[in-house]
Amino acid sequence: MAGKEQSIRIENETNRTLLHGILSAARGAGAIMAGASPHDEDVMSKGGRANYVTVYDEKVQEYLLGALSKVLPEAHFVGEEEGQEVFLPEYEHGYTFVVDPIDGTSNFMRGYHPSVTSIGLLRDGKPYIGVIYNPYTDSLFYAEKGFGAYENGKQIFTSPDPLSHSLVSMGTAPYYAEEVTESAFLLGNWYLKRSIDIRRSGSAAWDLCLIASGRTGLFYEPILCLWDYAAGACIVEEAGGKITDMHGRSLTYRGKSSILAVTAGVAGEDYLPPQELMRV
């Protein structure tokens, strides 16, 4: 028994060191963002409608690759600016960092915040640690599987309020087919009639933090990439919320997916949208 207890203690200490290393990396990335003043010449198109990348996205990702490699050298690394959207078989085993260096690039380009850095760590293909940092408000959200979710060191929980007493946040998936974006607004109208009001932040990772901290009751977006939701999903679930695709199915964490996240209060209701409004 003593040997087992010692093994658990060592594992817990290792996990704490790992988490603190990731938190430090997130703050370092945030410092790069906060010190930036993007100009037109810093902005490039990645293809598709309103799909941009700046030199700072690349700088932050390069920084995170170096910092996280020191924290967990054996981990795989999937970053948005690598353009790697295929979930490779090797990600099923061991650790994989899934990083969005600047989630909310269009916001960042125009000084319209929030823009955040998002770091998800998968273990055997499932969320294990999630860290999201907004340097403009110094808001650091994080969670480790089985240990709860926190904002700046204070444990957070989703709201017990019903949908009718909650704000809803949405994403419009502007990079994809026009019918997908149209569907997002049709769904917005449906949820508007059932909630206090609708909000749109421009950062899915940030919207998931708002769910986890009880500020909003439901968030949806028709299509998101893995780096958009991997960290936030861990934080939402550890705060007592629920996250699925928009059909109510469990997430596979293998790539693009629709996302629907709700608080504990909304989870007990019939909150799934009508299928005829869906385009995904």
- Indicate the average pLDDT of the chain: 89
Q: Is the domain of 135 the same as that of 175? A: no
Is the model's pLDDT at 139 over the cut of 50? Answer: yes
Half-sphere exposure in the Cβ direction for 110 (13 Å, CA):
7
If asked whether residues 143 and 7 sit together in one domain, one would say yes
Does residue 255 share a domain with residue 135?
no
Give percent above pLDDT 90 in the chain.
71
Question: Which of 131, 156, 181 delimits the end of a domain?
Answer: 156
- Say whether both 18 and 136 belong to one domain: yes
> What tens digit of pLDDT does each residue of 188-205 get?
999 999 999 999 999 999
Are both 132 and 171 inside the same structural domain?
A: no
> Whole-prediction pTM value?
0.90
Handedness of CA 72, 73, 79, 85 (dihedral sign): negative
Same domain, 147 and 169: no
* Same-domain pairing of 265 and 211: yes
From CA 178, how far away is CA 163, in angstroms rounded?
Answer: 28
CA-CA distance, 50 to 44, in Å (whole number)? 10
Q: Which of 112, 128, 156 is the last residue of a domain?
A: 156
User: What average pLDDT does range 101-109 have in this prediction?
Assistant: 90
pLDDT tens digits along 36-88:
876 544 545 444 444 446 788 889 999 999 999 999 999 999 987 665 667 78
Query: Is there a single domain that holds both residue 99 and residue 174?
Result: no
Residue 112: helix, strand or coil by DSSP? coil
Report the CATH number at residue 192. Answer: 3.40.190.80
Q: Contact 54/147 with Cβ under 8 angstroms?
A: no
Q: What is the CATH number of the domain that holds 103?
A: 3.30.540.10
149 in the same domain as 89: yes
Q: How many separate domains does the chain show?
A: 2
Whether 237 and 138 share a structural domain: no
Q: Residue 260 is part of which domain span?
A: 163-277
Mean pLDDT of 193-221: 97
Residues 6+ apart with CB under 8 A from 98: 78, 119, 120, 121, 122, 226, 227, 230, 231
pLDDT of residue 7: 38
Q: Name the domain boundary from 117, 136, 156.
A: 156
